[in-house]
Structure 1
Amino acid sequence: MYKQELDTPCIVVDLDKLKANIDRVQRLADEAGIALRPHVKTHKTPQIAKMQLNAGAIGIAVAKLGEAEVIAEAGVGSILIAYPIVGKTKLERLMRLASRAEVTVAVDSLEAAAGISDTALAAGIVVPVWIEVDPGYGRVGVQPGPMLVHLAQQLLPLKGIAVTGVLAFAGQSYDEDSDEGRSRVARHEAALASEAAQALRELGFPIESVSVGSTPVSRFASNMKGATEMRTGTYVFGDLTQVKAGAMSLEQCALTVLVTVVSRPASDRAVVDAGTKVFTSDGEDSPIGTGRGYVVGHPAIEVAWFNEEHGVLHLPPEERGLKVGDRLEIVPVHCCAVVNMLDVIHQTDGDTVTEVLTIEGRGRVR
């Protein structure tokens, strides 16, 4: 089948670009002497996770327990759940998962750690956990210094867990507008995580892993002194958020949404068959002035706005030849959110669809 024969809207991924992205970031990690643990929240697809592992990744990071279950079912080994696991139902699922896969869980509170410990003791196993520290992003993560030490001391008596690592996520790298700033964030994140690891070692914890990083700072892996691994996810596909962050170019973006023009209600306006139920409203507008997306090959078109089922394009005079039925490809603002909205990825080699991948982790947000 040819790409232009696909029913729309649909996700299209250029296989050559996908492979190049995987190889590029693996090479950055290898040259820096740290391991790569890709975050599969971006693609949610076991086949792509295996491509990353085959390229040299040591394991996989996930955002939710449901994603971990999907990846484990596909036979992937080392899995980090970089998210607190809270609640009886989830803890029972975690134990079933830990019985068949190598699973580590992030914690930043006594409550979350104690829940894992108690459930693990009842199951007769020990679950590795990594303490998450906040490097200034202000999301989850215990504050470094006295609060970290206090939490660690509370975890010392817990028998159902083994504290073996530290992780951090400096999401403030997305707010930096220069490579100097992004490099500074990478250095700070790694230094803070390394200092936290040392503080835990002094309390007697056998800390082996120091996990940091994200796609915007992946180019600065060599600055991550003291880190043992880097977690990065969006690099596999790329999107306008990563273009804005300086992490990727438009030409490196492997994922597009194929859409059809379904209405030409005015000379300067076209409407396509994808709105917020495909593109979502996540993320900021295009850094290159094209609105809520970038129309490949048509840089003067503005993806002006979406509602649920409609995408409205503003057309300059030179683009007003668009007709109902024409196909367009749009690079989204945030590819991770788009992937979670659809069921399959159409993998292409040039204009030919070579494989259709089921997004097994789609909707697995629990």
Structure 2
Amino acid sequence: MHRGRRRAVGILERGCSMFKQELDTPCILVDEDKLKNNIVRVQRIADEAGIALRPHAKTHKTPQIARMQLDAGAAGITVAKLGEAEAMADAGISPILIAYPIIGRFKLERLMRLAARATVTVAVDSLEAAFGISEAALNAGIVMPIWVEIDPGYGRAGVQPGEALIRLGNELGKLCGVRVTGVLVFAGQSYDEDNDEGRIRVAKREAAIAKEAADSLLGLGFPIESVSAGSTPVSRFASVMEGVTEMRPGTYVFGDLTQVKAKAIGLEQCALTVLATVVSRPAPDRAVIDAGTKVFTSDGEDSPIGTGRGFVVGHPDIEVSWFNEEHGVLHLPPEERGLKVGDKLEIVPVHCCAVINMLDEFNLVAGDVVQEAVPIPGRGKVR
């Protein structure tokens, strides 16, 4: 048992167990066996490719799962926000890569306090971000490792490869208090590919851009040690990502319909579901559940298998039609119209990372039995 293990809310006294169907809803369920299998499966892919795995903890926001990943062989964890890093460090999780620019005095002060108790690396894509860290690190009497983020064509954050990177590198070389030791890329365009041929093409291109950027910075005299790339859709193709030293997938731990669409995981491997209760049957072909966008969110596209905004486990013909804030509307085919008020359903979401950020805890289950209610310390840590 992990330290800090809690009893599931409402479990009977004297050691009696609770079945997941007895839980109050809406709530998150995580299948323990599927979770462990997903962690082992992707760690094996990284090991076989001869690269490190630094999983992105924005998916689970939970130190208990981060510890499972580290115990399985991960080289560290990645987070998006400083608050997530603090939640991980509070539980003794390290090393931590913050794959997001740290901007502003308050955050820089927090970063220095974090660096005093955990091994931390920060991504930058501008001189302004690097200068702030440099100044804060000098005042704190430390040297902060930083990685330069490169845009591999996704069009989000990241300095453009080529001349823009060289210009930034020349300026970074003038700074004290920071040490450039790596590059990272995120080719989110892999989600737009509809076949493995396209995903492999994106993976190879992502790796080539990262390797070229690393070589450019090496040429400027920086001690580049890490070339970091990869997301869950391309993690299966780690072996073709030449020059990459590590990958940072996140969603693989739970899986969701977006990853099913990307063929990164099978529907039967998805570990996270939302348990919801039917609260209304206003028409023969319609049911309403007690979970809407405040649980599932509106992120991501509809199910690739024609089931709308989710997949109802054991009821593949039910369509999760649409959500309001607190209501989920299901369309029922004739064979499913026996559904009653009070019935409970498990639903695989479109995007699990968004769902995990909406509730304070999830219920770890083994089969139908609740093992524990696990707090999510990184939930809501968006600063």
Which bin holds the TM-score, normalised by the shorter protein? over 0.9
Aligned to 2:39: 22
SS of the residue 1:198 aligns to:
helix
Note the 1:246-261 alignment, pairs <5 A. 246-261=263-278
Note the 1:110-129 alignment, pairs <5 A. 110-129=127-146
Amino acid at match of 1:96: R
Matched residues in 2 for 1:358 and 1:315: separation?
34
Matched residues in 2 for 1:338 and 1:99: separation?
32
Aligned to 2:325: 308
Aligned to 2:230: 213
Q: CA deviation at 1:132?
A: 0.3
Q: Which deviations, in whole Å up to 9, do the C-alpha atoms of 1:10-41 show, x marking residues without a partner? A: 00000000000000000000000000000000
Is 1:365 equivalent to 2:361 in the alignment? no
Note the 1:1-366 alignment, pairs <5 A. 1-366=18-383
SS of the residue 2:315 aligns to:
coil
Matched residues in 2 for 1:2 and 1:147: separation?
57
Amino acid at match of 1:304: S
Amino acid at match of 2:188: G
Q: CA deviation at 1:332?
A: 0.3
Amino acid at match of 1:302: E
SS of the residue 1:174 aligns to:
helix
Identity %: 77
TM-score, structure 1 as length reference: 1.00
SS of the residue 2:132 aligns to:
helix
SS of the residue 1:227 aligns to:
coil
Q: CA deviation at 1:246?
A: 1.1
Q: CA deviation at 1:105?
A: 0.3
Amino acid at match of 1:117: S
SS of the residue 1:4 aligns to:
helix
Amino acid at match of 1:225: E
Matched residues in 1 for 2:183 and 2:174: separation?
18
Q: CA deviation at 1:233?
A: 0.2
Q: CA deviation at 1:355?
A: 1.6
Structure 2 gap segments, 5+ residues each? 1-17
Aligned to 2:5: none
Write out the 4+ residue segments of structure 1 that deviate beyond 6 Å after TM superposition: none
Amino acid at match of 2:322: W
Q: CA deviation at 1:179?
A: 0.3
Q: Which deviations, in whole Å up to 9, do the C-alpha atoms of 1:320-356 show, x marking residues without a partner? A: 0000000100000000000000010100000000121
Amino acid at match of 2:30: V
Q: CA deviation at 1:61?
A: 0.1
TM-score, structure 2 as length reference: 0.95
Matched residues in 2 for 1:186 and 1:71: separation?
29
Matched residues in 2 for 1:255 and 1:265: separation?
29
Structure 1 gap segments, 5+ residues each? none
Matched residues in 2 for 1:224 and 1:105: separation?
23
Matched residues in 2 for 1:73 and 1:274: separation?
31
Q: CA deviation at 1:152?
A: 0.4
| Count of equivalent residues | 366
Matched residues in 1 for 2:360 and 2:22: separation?
18
Matched residues in 2 for 1:185 and 1:29: separation?
18
Aligned to 2:10: none
Q: CA deviation at 1:58?
A: 0.4
Q: CA deviation at 1:191?
A: 1.0
SS of the residue 1:47 aligns to:
helix
Q: CA deviation at 1:160?
A: 1.0
Q: Which deviations, in whole Å up to 9, do the C-alpha atoms of 1:153-191 show, x marking residues without a partner? A: 011010010000000000000000000010111111111
Matched residues in 2 for 1:146 and 1:115: separation?
23
SS of the residue 1:119 aligns to:
helix
Matched residues in 2 for 1:96 and 1:361: separation?
18
Matched residues in 2 for 1:133 and 1:186: separation?
15
Q: CA deviation at 1:47?
A: 0.2
Q: CA deviation at 1:76?
A: 1.1
Matched residues in 1 for 2:232 and 2:238: separation?
10
Q: CA deviation at 1:77?
A: 1.5
SS of the residue 1:345 aligns to:
strand
